[in-house]
Structure 1
Amino acid sequence: MSKVVLITGGSSGIGKSIGEFLNEKGFIVYGTSRNPDNYKNSKFPILALDVKKVETINETISEIIKKENRLDVVINNAGAGITGPIEEIPESEIKNNFDTNFFGPINVIKAALPQMRKQESGLIINITSIAGYMGLPYRGVYSASKGALELLTEAFRMELKDFNIKMTNVAPGDFATNIAAGRYHAPLLENSPYKKPYGDTLELMNAHVDNGSNPNMMAEAVYKIINNPNPKVHYKVGEFMQKFSIVLKRILPDKVYEKLLMKHYKL
């Protein structure tokens, strides 16, 4: 029996790559977008869903279950970037980012769990970020939202153990997608004390995304996880140095690691 997979944010970038890869492997794939009419040529169905609106989450998941009678894999991929000096980012934008990157996945999980518990099986994959393992300058809000999802998954795994429902995190590094175009950028203010360091860091971040890895790497990693009967708690996917940066954080004194980050970002 082909597994039924739901991918939030499956219309572009990493989500699209995962969806196309799984579709080719014979999975029944559903992606989501706030504007599904823009993706009528997708290789798999794109349904209307906004992770910030609980009613759309419940409606879409109910629609899939009604049609397929099951839901085997949920991939919480929908997310939003945000950059800027924390002092200058409006509170509304910070809350908006957490609504997408943290509360959205929680509500998707809540909507999927009753069906997975009913069928006594299921897998939930939360796409986080290597940035969630460390507080990055001018990406602090993004790091915090993704780090929160990492910790939530650790707790959720233990709570779901009795129901044969698995959950894991997959933390990508920089991939060549359109995330930079869609993220919220706090404006570079002429009179800001952060103008030069923030401007320089912003250019560096955008260059990292432009020169990032092929998102097919994420698709292959997710495929292997789905076929693993006992997935790990955490996975990291990306260039060696990006993954190794997490190891360094564990073994180096805090101030030494902080200096390495500041040197990397030329601060």
Structure 2
Amino acid sequence: MSSLSEQVILITGASTGIGAALAKTLSERYMGIRLAIAARSVEKLEDVADFCRKVGAEVLIVPTDLEKIEQVEAIVAKVIAHFGRIDALVNNAGYGQMGPVELIPIEAIQKQFQVNLIAPLALIRAVVPQMRNQGGGRIINISSLGGRLAFPFGGLYSSSKFALEGLSDALRMELEPFNIKVSVIEPGPVSTNFFAASAQAVEENVAAPEKSPYRTAFTKLKNLESQTSRQAWKSERVAEVIIKALVARNPRPRYVAATGGRILIFMMTKVLPTKIVDAFWQKFYGIDLVAKDWQTSQAARK
């Protein structure tokens, strides 16, 4: 796997963001590479495919709604029917369901795990027999720093990514005899509208958020984009880390794609007391404001 030229790489969530950046970078760098790109938007996939084809890649578009398991399971068969093989699977598609755990509807919870965990698992199950028969392959699962660290309002997102990382660890050991390498990529903040979209999702999924006991934190959530912009990586920079995992002879189990990410994980999981870590995240996400607001409202009732 030292060279990706002429290999077949399947990328989900390839219409925008990290997935699109990865497809474009691979196309520019590896002449003759063959890409299968999957996402919901045909129009956006066509834009990515046009760019990739102009620089010499062969591209198969596979429009897919990852919430529909039958469509997910059909992806691998379509790619093998077209290219004859799959050398690498990049499970990039995912999204963040933000909000207090108690207030998120069951339907939104199911969607979170369907997209971030069940769909990648279905793809892995479908692609492993093909990779084993051809002598090996690569599986790259895109997780997050949130797959190692949980934070307020990110309970569902983090739990889906924690699960994806646990699955990856088990697969890494199970598939090693077949020369199928499994790695996890852990991006931190990326230059997208993640927090703005998350704030909007809160408004859509939480009934009367302005009356919620968490309302002061909802207001802060809308402003987190500006607080994280300095540390945010561009999608192209994350794509470089994914490529590093794809070409490494012995890829690492995990690649952190965030400024100061390794130190952050080490400090918050190995050094600092849990109470201090909790207090940090509570302040960052405005839970300290929720506590003050709640105490004030309770005092006013007496």
CA RMSD of aligned residues (A): 1.9
Measure, in 2, the Cα distance between the counterparts of 1:263 and 1:31.
40
Q: Tell me if structure 1 keeps the 8 A contact 2:8–2:85.
A: yes
1:22 paired with 2:26, answer yes
Aligned residue identity for 1:16:
A
Measure, in 2, the Cα distance between the counterparts of 1:98 and 1:209.
25
Q: Tell me if structure 1 keeps the 8 A contact 2:14–2:45.
A: no
2:212 matched to which residue of 1? 192
- For residues 209 and 111 of structure 1, do their structure 2 counterparts lie closer, same or farther at Cα, with a shift above 3 Å needed? farther
Aligned residue identity for 1:128:
S
* TM-score under structure 1 length normalisation: 0.92
1:58 paired with 2:73, answer yes
| Structure 2, unaligned runs of 5 or more | 53-58, 289-302
> Which SS does the other structure have where 2:141 is aligned?
strand
Measure, in 2, the Cα distance between the counterparts of 1:54 and 1:88.
26
Q: Tell me if structure 2 keeps the 8 A contact 1:51–1:108.
A: no
Measure, in 2, the Cα distance between the counterparts of 1:57 and 1:3.
21
Measure, in 1, the Cα distance between the counterparts of 2:119 and 2:18.
18
CA positional deviation for 1:48: 1.1
Q: Tell me if structure 2 keeps the 8 A contact 1:75–1:127.
A: yes
Measure, in 1, the Cα distance between the counterparts of 2:44 and 2:246.
29
Measure, in 2, the Cα distance between the counterparts of 1:254 and 1:210.
26
Measure, in 2, the Cα distance between the counterparts of 1:147 and 1:154.
11
Aligned residue identity for 1:58:
E
CA positional deviation for 1:96: 1.0
1:234 paired with 2:254, answer yes
Aligned residue identity for 1:206:
E
CA positional deviation for 1:205: 3.3
Alignment of 1:123-138 (within 5 A): 123-138=138-153
76, 81, 84: which one aligns with 1:69: 84
- Structure 1 moving runs of 4+ over 6 Å: none
2:135 matched to which residue of 1? 120
2:103 matched to which residue of 1? 88
1:252 matched to which residue of 2? 272
Aligned residue identity for 1:192:
S
Q: Tell me if structure 1 keeps the 8 A contact 2:16–2:44.
A: no
Measure, in 1, the Cα distance between the counterparts of 2:151 and 2:144.
12
Q: Tell me if structure 1 keeps the 8 A contact 2:140–2:185.
A: yes
CA positional deviation for 1:199: 2.2
CA positional deviation for 1:239: 1.6
Give the % identical residues.
33
Deviations 1:87-107 (A, max 9, x none): 111111111101110111100
CA positional deviation for 1:179: 4.0
CA positional deviation for 1:161: 1.4
Q: Tell me if structure 2 keeps the 8 A contact 1:80–1:182.
A: no
CA positional deviation for 1:190: 2.5
Measure, in 2, the Cα distance between the counterparts of 1:239 and 1:205.
17
| Structure 1, unaligned runs of 5 or more | none
1:225 paired with 2:240, answer no
2:39 matched to which residue of 1? 33
Aligned residue identity for 1:219:
A
Give the number of the structure whose alpha-carbon radius of gyration is greater: 2
- For residues 135 and 105 of structure 1, do their structure 2 counterparts lie closer, same or farther at Cα, with a shift above 3 Å needed? same
Q: Tell me if structure 2 keeps the 8 A contact 1:173–1:243.
A: no
CA positional deviation for 1:152: 0.9
Higher alpha-carbon deviation: 183-192 or 49-58: 183-192
Matched pairs, number: 265
CA positional deviation for 1:227: 1.0
Measure, in 2, the Cα distance between the counterparts of 1:83 and 1:112.
31
Measure, in 2, the Cα distance between the counterparts of 1:32 and 1:231.
24
CA positional deviation for 1:189: 1.7
Measure, in 2, the Cα distance between the counterparts of 1:165 and 1:100.
23
* TM-score under structure 2 length normalisation: 0.82
- For residues 83 and 50 of structure 1, do their structure 2 counterparts lie closer, same or farther at Cα, with a shift above 3 Å needed? same
